[in-house]
Structure 1
Amino acid sequence: MGNPERGITGRKAMRIFSAALAAALLLSIVFAEDPFISDRATRWFQKEFRALMERDHSDTTPPVITNPRIFPYQLKRGDPRAEISANIYDRSGISSVYAEVGRKQVLMFDLDGDGRYIGYCGSNLPPGDYNVSIVAVDRAGNAAVTPCRSLRVLDPLDLNANRIEDSLESLGPEETRVIVLHDDNVTESEGEKLRNLDILRGSAMLVPGNRIPELARLRGVKGIYRDQKLRVLGGACGGSESDVPGTPENPRRAATGLTGRGVTVALIDTGVDAEHESLDDLDDDPATSDPKIVAFVDMVNNLERPYDDNGHGTHCASLISGTKGMGVAPGSKLVVLKVMDRDGSCYLSDALSALDWCAKNRDVYDIRVISFSVGGDRSSDRPTLLDEACNKMAEEGIVVVVAAGNSGPSPSSIVVPGEAEEVITVGAIDARGKIFERSSRGPTSDGRIKPDIVTIGVDVPSALAGTKNDESCMSGTSMAVPQVAGAAALILEGFGNLTPADVKRVLLRSADDL
C-alpha cells in the first residue's frame, strides 16, 4: 500500500496546479485587452485589474483632484439622485475613488476612460445637510481628499428648510401640540413640555402657534412637527365587504406544541379587561397564581388597575394570548399599554411614549414582541417619526407588528407606521382567503412591497370587554395584527435566538402565496 499522507499531498499539489492554471488563464484574458470592446464596465474592470497587479511601490505622490461637483446639491425624498463628479489624475494610475456623504460612501467610476469619475447618491437619506468629500487612492496607496459642495436633503414636510413643518407656519396664538426634535442641551422656553420622547431625542410640547418660529430658532432644535392624531384600525362587524356567511371557524391554533410560553408581548391599544376568563391567567386553573397580564400602564387616565373603556384592546389581547381557544399563543404573557382613549384615538406622542416605555422595560418583562394595531394618515412621501421609532425598536431586537390600515382598495394607501422597513406590516383577508376590500395596499412611497403578510381580519371573534366569557366579532387590519404577533411569540418560544428580521423571514417563507 502507498503512503496515505503522500497521496493527500499529491491531491493538494494537483489542486494548487489547477488553481494556478486557472489564474494564468484569467490573467491572459484580462491583460489581452481588446481595443474593440464597447462595454464600458468590461474596459473598466480590465484597467482596474492591471492597476492592482502592476502597483508601483516607489510612488509617494498622491492623486490630483480637480473640478469637484455635485448636482443637484439639493434633494427631497423621491427625487432620482444627485451626481457627484471630479477630474482625477495620477501618473501611475488610480486604484479607487469614492465620495464620503456624511457617514455614507458613494463609489465613483471612470467608465469612459477620460479621467472624469462619477458616482450617484440617492435621496433616501434622512433630512439634513451633508458634508461631501471626494477621496482618491492611487495604485501605490497614496490618498488625496478634496471637499465638495455640501448636499442638502430636504424634508418634504419642511421644504423651506426652516426646521418647521410647513403646515405649522403662519399659525395664530392658539396652542398647538407639536413634537420637537432637539439636542440634549436645548432650552425649551417657548411652551409647555408634555413629556420627553427619548426614542427620538425630542419632546412633546404644547406651544402657542405664533411662538413656533421662536422655538425653531433656539440652539439645539432640529425640527418641529405636528403631533398628529392616530386611531385604532378595527371596528364592530357589520357592513363589511366580506361575503362569507356567519362566523368563520377559529383558525388560530395549530398543532405545533408551542404556546408562546416564556415570551412577553406588549400590546399598545385601548387597554384590557383582565377579568375576562380568556385573559385572567395563563392556564385557566383558579387554584394557581399565574396572571397573564404582568404589567398595565395607563397613559390616558393614569389608573393602576387594568381596564378597557373601548373594547378594541381586549379583543386584540385575546387574539394574541387568550385561553379558551381564542389566542394564537395562549402561553404568552402580556404587557398592556393604554394609549388610546375611549374613542380609540391618541396622539403620535402618546404612541412614542409607549415605545419608550417598552424600550426601557424590555428586560424587566422580557418583551420580545410589540402588537400595534394603530395608524394615522400619511401626509408625505418620507418616513414619519413613528416609522423611524418603530424601526429603532426592531433594531433593538423587538419584533414590531403593525397594521397596514383600512384605507384600501386604493394603491399606495398604507397608513403610518406601516411603511416602516423593519416592521411586519399586516393586511387582512376573510375566511376564504379573499383580500378584505378596505385593507390598505402598497407599494410604499419609495416603491417597496407592503403589506408583508395578510391573515384573517374579517368577522373575527374574540373576547368582549365587560363580560366574563362572552365574545364579539370585529373587522379590520387591527384584528389581523395580534394574530401575527401571537405567531411571532410561538416562533420565539421555539427559536429564542432569532432576530426580528429572522422572525419576519420565517413568517413570510411559511405563508401561503395567494
Structure 2
Amino acid sequence: MPTAPRRRAARFLPFALLLSLLSAAPSFQVEAQNPARPVPLPARVAPELQRAGGSELRALRVSVTNETAFRQWLGGIRPGAVAEVEPRHPKMLRVRGIGAAALAESPWVLFVQGADRKARPERELGGLDLGANKVTAVHARYPTLTGQGLTVSVKESPLDVADLDFRGRLLEADPLAPLLNSHSTTMATIIAGAGNSSPDGRGVAWRARIAQSSYDNLLPDDGVQLAARGVSVQNHSYGVEVENFYGLEARAYDQQARQYPTLLHVFSSGNSGQRPAPAGPYAGLDSLANLTGEFKNAKNTLSVGVTDALGSVNPLSSRGPAADGRIKPELVAFGDGGSSDAAALVSGISLLVQQAHQQRRGTLPTAALVRAALLNSADDVGRPQVDFVAGYGQADALGAVQTMLDGRFMEGTATTGQERVFSITVPAGVHRLKITLAWTDPEAAAGTATALINDLDLTLRRTATSQQWLPWTLSAYPHRDSLARPARRRPNHRDNAEQITLDAPVAGTYELRVRGFAVPQGPQAFSVVYELESGLYWVAPTKARGLEAAGAGQLLRWQWAGPATTARLEYKPAGQAAWMVLSANVNLADKLYRWTAPNATQSGQLRLVAAATTALSDTFFVARPLALAVAYSCPQEALLTWRRVPGATQYQVYALGATHLEPLRRLTDTTLLLTTAEITARYFAVAPVLSGRVGPRGASEDILQENHGCYVRSFTPRLLVTDSVRFDLTLGSVYRLQAVALERRQPDGSFLEILSLNPVPGLALELADPAAPAGYSQYRARLTLSSGAVVYSQPERVFRVSEAPEVLVYPVPLVAGEPLRIVLPPNETADVRLFDLTGRLLLAEATKVGVIKRIATGALRPGTYLLRIRLHSGPEITRRFTVL
C-alpha cells in the first residue's frame, strides 16, 4: 500500500482541536444554533456522511493502517462499538456504534464511508437491438466468436436458473435462491442468452458460461473464486444514490484489477442523468457528475451510459466527470431499458473481444488492452472527440473485434522519463487515424482529490516532418461552461486512457510514442491500439439476422468513414436482375435508414451507390418467424406441424441439446412425428429452407405443456347442471385417429359407450347423451388410433335435471359460510323463503330462469333450517337442511 495516504492524513488538524477552533469563531456560533447543518468533518470522511453528520446508527466501512491499534483505540473511547473484518479485504472493517466524526479522530483511520447502502437494478422494461452496436455484424462475419470457453459473472440478485436460454451453462446455480426480480435474468440474457426460447433470446456472447454473485456487498467479489471459475468479465448493472468521490469500493476494484490483469469489470453509469452531484467539487451542477455509486469512479473499470437506437444519449443516462475530473462514462451503448442494458451489452462485447485475442494469440488479453480496443473503436456521438456525456463514444463490437483479429495493438512498459516508440504505416485514402493508450493504474487512497498514480503520456508523430499531435483532453474546472467546452489537444494528467485522432492523415510512417511522465510505482504496463477508418460497409441486416416481412420502421444500418456525401439506396430480391430504389438521396453520415420490408418470404440484398463507391449487404432473409405447432403430445409419440412457406423446398427442425438448439431433421413435409426417444428433448423449433439457405426460425415450443394434450385439447360439458347432456371435444389432430366415442360411467364402475364417430369429422366435435339419467353422471371421451391404441380424456361430471318438476338443493349438510345452491326444473322460476325452526323468516327472494340460485350462509348459526320454494307453475316444495 502506498504511503501517500498517511502523509496526506497527517496534514489535517486533530478533529477535537478543529472543533475547538471553529467553536471560537463568531460565524460558527450562528451556524451551531441550526441543528440541520452538520458540523464539517475531515476529508477522510465520505461526502454522504459529511452531509448526514456521521450518525452512530449507521454501519460504517473503515479503512485503517493498523487493525490491532485501531481496535485498542476503539475499545478505549467506545467500548460498546462493534468492528467486524470485511472478508477478503485486509485492513478494512465494518463498524457499528460510533459515528463518522468520532472515527475521524483516530490516528489509525484512513477513510470512513457508509456500509449499508443498498444496490438496486437500473433498468426499465425495453427491447434489444444488437445492430446498434454492430453485434449482428460480428455474428455474421465471425461465426466462431460466440464467447465459448469464457465465463461472465453477473453480480446482482439471483437469476432464473430454469431459464431455457441458460441451459447447461450456469455455474454453481442455486435452485433455491429467491427470485427478487427479473432484472438479473434479463442482463444475463443480453450478455449470453442462447436463443433457445426464440431468436430474440440470443445474446451477444451466446455460448459463454454464466456465473452469479450477489450485489448485497458492494465490494469486489473474492478474486480467487472468480479466477477459479474462469471469470474474465463481471457485469454490474446496478447502482445506489448519486456519489461523486473515489471511495473504498472504487479503490478495491482498482486493486483487484491490478491483482487480476485479465479481469474486466463493467458498470452501468446509472439513470440519474438529470440530477446534480450532491457533494464534491461538482456539487449542485445539474445533469453532471451523477454516477450512481462511488465504485463506478474506479479507474480500471468501464462505466457505460445509454443511447437510444438512433445513437442519441438518453437524458437519463448518468454522466461525468468523476470527482477528480476524469472522463466518465467511458462508453455509451444502446439500451432500451436504461444503462443496465447498455452495460450488459458492453460486457458481452468484451467477451467477444477477449475471444478474438485468444484466437490470434492463444491467451486472454489484459483488461487494459480490451479497454483500449473498446474506447478506440467507439463511434463518436454527441460533442466531437471525448466528452463527459458519451465518453469516447458508442461501443462498436465489430471495430473492437477487428482490432484484435488484425493485430492492431502494441504492449509495453514504461518508467519515469522512459519513452517507448512504435511505428505504423498509414496507407493513402484513410479518412481518420485513431490511437488509444490505456493502462491499469495502481489503486489510490480513498477520498483522494487526484486518483491517478502512474501518469503516462501519448504522442503521435509523423516521421517525415516531425509534426506532433497530443491527446484530446477536457477541462475539469467545476463550472458548467468549462465542462461543456470541446476537447483540446494537450497533455492529459488525469485519465489512465488517452486518445489521439487525426483526420485525413497523409500517407506514410507515423510514430506512436508512450512516455512515462511520472511513474512512482513502476514499471507501468500499457496497451496501445490504433485504427485506420475508411470506406463504406453494411452493418444490418446480415445473413445472421434479417428483416421481418412487412415490419414497419426497421432500421437499415451502415458504417461510413469519409467526407459528407449522399448515396442511392436500393433493394433487390434474390434471383431478380433489377434494383428497386428505396431512396435516391440518403445522407451517408446518418448511418441508418428506416424501411418497411416487403410482405413476402424472400432473400435479398441492399446496396448503397455513391459516386465510385458501391457497398453491397449480405444476402439476408425477409420473412416472418416460422411458428411451430404441437398437434398432439402423447407419451409414445408427438406430432409437430407448421405452415407451408412459399418458395421453401425444405424445413429444418431443431431440438434442444445439452446447451443450445441443434439441428434434428430436415424435411420436405410440414409435419414431423417424434419418437419416444426424441420427445425427451422437449423443446423444438423449425425454419424454412429457401434456395439451400436456412431462413429464420420461430420461437421454441415446449411439447410437454399440458395444453397440448394427447390428441385431446379440451373436453368440457356445455353446462354442469342441465336438462340435456352435451360436451364439446376439441382435438389437436386427426392424424391416425380412427374413432371417437362418448362413454358414461355405470354404477358398477364400468363405462358404457353412448355414441361413436367413425371416421372423425373434424377437430371440433359436439357429443351428446340424449338418454342421460337424472342426477349426477360421469363421462369421458375415448379415442381409438389406427394402431389400436386408446386415448382417454379426463372425466367430467354433469348433473341432469329430470323432466318432472323437481328441485335440487345441495350440498346437504353444509359448512357455515359455504353457499347453498338451488337448481330448478327447466324453464322454471320460483319464490324462495328461508325459515329457522321457530318459524322466523330469514330470507325471501325470487329466482330467475336458467340460473342456479346461491344462498349465502355466513350469517347462519349451526342448526336446522327450512326452505319453502314456490314454483311459478304452482306447487310449493319444502326442503330441510343442516348447517354444521
What TM-score bracket applies, with the shorter chain setting the length?
0.5 to 0.7
User: Contact 1:168–1:225 at 8 Å: present in 2 too?
Assistant: no
C-alpha change, 1:413 and 1:220, in structure 2 (3 Å) is closer
Structure with higher helix content: 1
Aligned length, in residue pairs: 317
Deviation at 1:481, TM superposition (A): 0.8
| Cα pair 2:305 2:332 within 8 Å, conserved | yes
Say if 2:356 is the partner of 1:356. no
1:222 pairs, out of 110, 121, 124, with: 110
Task: Name the SS for the 1:319 alignment partner.
Answer: helix
Corresponding residue SS for 1:450 = coil
Once the 2 structures are TM-superposed, how far is the Cα of residue 452 of structure 1 from its aligned partner? 1.0
Deviations 1:109-141 (A, max 9, x none): xxxxxxxxxxxxxxxxx654259xxxxxxxxxx
The amino acid that maps onto 1:331 is: R
Which protein has the bigger strand share?
A: 2
**Cα offset, 1:170, TM superposition:** 6.3
Amino acid of the structure 2 residue aligned with 1:478: S
Is 1:181 matched with 2:63? yes
CA distance in 2, matches of 1:261, 1:158: 55
2:88 maps to 198
Contact 1:274 1:307 in 2 (8 A): no
Do the aligned partners of 1:233 and 1:477 also contact (CA within 8 Å) in 2? Answer: no
1:376 and 2:240 matched: yes
Corresponding residue number in structure 2 for 1:333: 209
The answer on whether the counterparts of 2:113 and 2:247 sit within 8 Å (CA) in structure 1 is: no
- Asked if residue 482 in structure 1 is aligned to residue 344 in structure 2, the reply is yes
Q: Shift of the alpha carbon at 1:215?
A: 5.6
Which of 402, 406, 419 is the matching residue for 2:267?
402
How do 1:37-52 and structure 2 match up within 5 A? none
Supply the distance in 1 between the matched residues of 2:240 and 2:364 (Cα, whole angstroms): 33
| CA 1:178–1:436: 2 relative to 1, 3 Å | same
User: Do structure 1's residue 444 and structure 2's residue 332 form an aligned pair?
Assistant: no
Structure 1 residue aligned with 2:181: 310
- 3-state SS, counterpart of residue 401 of structure 1: strand
- The whole-number CA distance in structure 2 between the counterparts of 1:438 and 1:170 is 30
Distance in 1, Cα, partners of 2:13 & 2:246: 13
Q: CA offsets, 1:229-254, max 9 Å, x none?
A: 2433423338xxxxxxxx55443443
CA distance in 2, matches of 1:395, 1:103: 14
SS in 2 for 1:334: strand
1:277: how far off? 0.4
Q: Is the 8 A contact 1:370 1:399 kept in 2?
A: yes
Match of 2:250 among 387, 406, 416: 387
| Per-residue Cα deviation, 1:282-330 (whole angstroms, up to 9, x for no partner) | xxxxxxxxxx11135xxxxxx7744422111111111111100421111
Judging changes above 3 Å, is the alpha-carbon distance between structure 1 residues 485 and 444 closer, same or farther for their aligned structure 2 residues?
A: same
| 1:450 to 1:153, Cα distance in 2 relative to 1, 3 A | farther
After the TM superposition, which residues 91-490 of structure 1 pair with which residues of structure 2 at under 5 Å, given as runs? 127-130=5-8, 160-161=41-42, 167=50, 175-182=57-64, 183-185=66-68, 186-187=70-71, 189=75, 190-193=80-83, 196-199=86-89, 201-209=91-99, 220-237=108-125, 247=127, 249-251=129-131, 252-253=135-136, 254-255=138-139, 256=142, 257-281=144-168, 292-296=169-173, 305-324=176-195, 325-339=201-215, 346=216, 350-352=217-219, 355-357=220-222, 359-380=223-244, 382-396=245-259, 397=261, 398-409=263-274, 410-416=287-293, 417-458=295-336, 475-490=337-352
What are the equivalent positions in structure 2 for 1:76-91 lying under 5 Å apart?
none
Q: So what's the TM-score if we normalise by structure 2? A: 0.33
Range with greater deviation from structure 2 (162-171 or 271-280): 162-171
SS in 2 for 1:351: coil
> Contact (CA 8 Å) 2:192, 2:207: kept in 1 or not?
yes
The reply on whether 1:512 has 2:379 as its aligned counterpart is yes
The alpha-carbon deviation at position 457 of structure 1 amounts to: 0.9
- Describe the SS at the equivalent of 1:386: helix
Residue pair 1:128, 1:154 contacting (<8 A) in 2 also: no
1:501 maps to 2:388 = no
SS at match of 1:508: helix
**Structure 1's 490 and 276: CA in aligned 2 closer, same or farther, altered over 3 A?**
same
For residue 280 of structure 1, report the CA deviation from its aligned partner: 2.1
Structure 1 pair 203–360 and aligned structure 2 pair: CA distance change class (3 A) = farther
Question: Equivalent residue of 2:369, what SS?
Answer: helix
For the structure 1 residues 418 and 214, does the alpha-carbon distance in structure 2 shift closer, same or farther, using more than 3 Å as the test?
closer
Question: Match of 1:55?
Answer: none
Inter-partner Cα distance in structure 2 for 1:371 and 1:407: 19
State the one-letter code of the partner of 1:269.
E
Shift in alpha-carbon separation, 1:195–1:331, aligned structure 2, 3 A: farther
Question: 2:54–2:101: 8 Å Cα contact kept in structure 1?
Answer: no
Match of 2:749 in 1: none
Aligned letter for 2:165? S
**Counterparts of 1:260 and 1:154, CA distance in 2:** 54
Q: Does the C-alpha gap of structure 1 residues 129 and 511 become closer, same or farther in structure 2, counting only changes over 3 Å?
A: same
- Structure 2 counterpart of 1:321, which letter? A
2-side partners of 1:487 and 1:171: how far apart?
42
- Alpha-carbon distance change, 151 to 373 in structure 1, aligned in 2, over 3 angstroms: same
Aligned partner of residue 164 in structure 2, secondary structure: coil
Tell me the distance in 2 between the aligned counterparts of 1:421 and 1:158. 31
Q: Is the 8 A contact 2:171 2:211 kept in 1?
A: yes
Aligned to 1:285: none
The one-letter amino acid of 1:393's match is Q
CA spacing shift, 1:279–1:306, aligned 2, 3 Å: farther
CA deviation vs aligned residue, 1:414-465 (integer Å, no higher than 9, x gap): 232332221111111111212112001223232222211111111xxxxxxx
The 3 A distance-change label for structure 1 pair 413 and 222 is: closer
Tell me the secondary structure at the aligned position of residue 258 of structure 1.
coil
The one-letter amino acid of 1:370's match is Q
Question: TM-score, normalising length from structure 1?
Answer: 0.55
The structure-2 alpha-carbon separation of the partners of 1:158 and 1:276, relative to structure 1 and needing over 3 Å to count, comes to: farther
Measure how far apart 1:258 and its partner are. 0.7
Q: Structure 1 residue 486: deviation in Å?
A: 1.1
CA shift at 1:220, angstroms? 4.0
Residue identity opposite 2:365 in structure 1:
L
> Are 1:233 and 1:405, in contact at CA under 8 Å, matched by a contact in 2?
no
Following superposition, the deviation at residue 390 of structure 1 comes to 1.8
Query: C-alpha distance in 2, partners of 1:365/1:447?
Result: 35
1: CA distance between counterparts of 2:166 and 2:113?
38
Aligned to 2:601: none
Distance 1:388 1:159, change over 3 A: farther
* Gaps in structure 1 of 5+ consecutive residues: 1-101, 105-125, 132-149, 239-246, 282-291, 297-302, 340-345, 459-474
CA apart distance, 1:507: 1.0
Q: Shift in Å at residue 369 of structure 1?
A: 1.1
Q: Aligned AA for 1:314?
A: T
SS of residue in 2 equivalent to 1:488? helix
Label 1:213 to 1:232 Cα distance change in 2 as closer, same or farther (>3 A): closer
The percentage of counterpart residues that share the same residue type is 23
- Secondary structure, aligned partner of 1:175: coil
The answer to whether the Cα contact below 8 Å between 1:404 and 1:427 also exists between their aligned partners in 2 is yes
Amino acid corresponding to residue 186 of structure 2 in structure 1: H
What is the SS of the residue equivalent to 2:313?
Answer: coil
Tell me the amino acid that sits aligned with residue 250 of structure 2. D
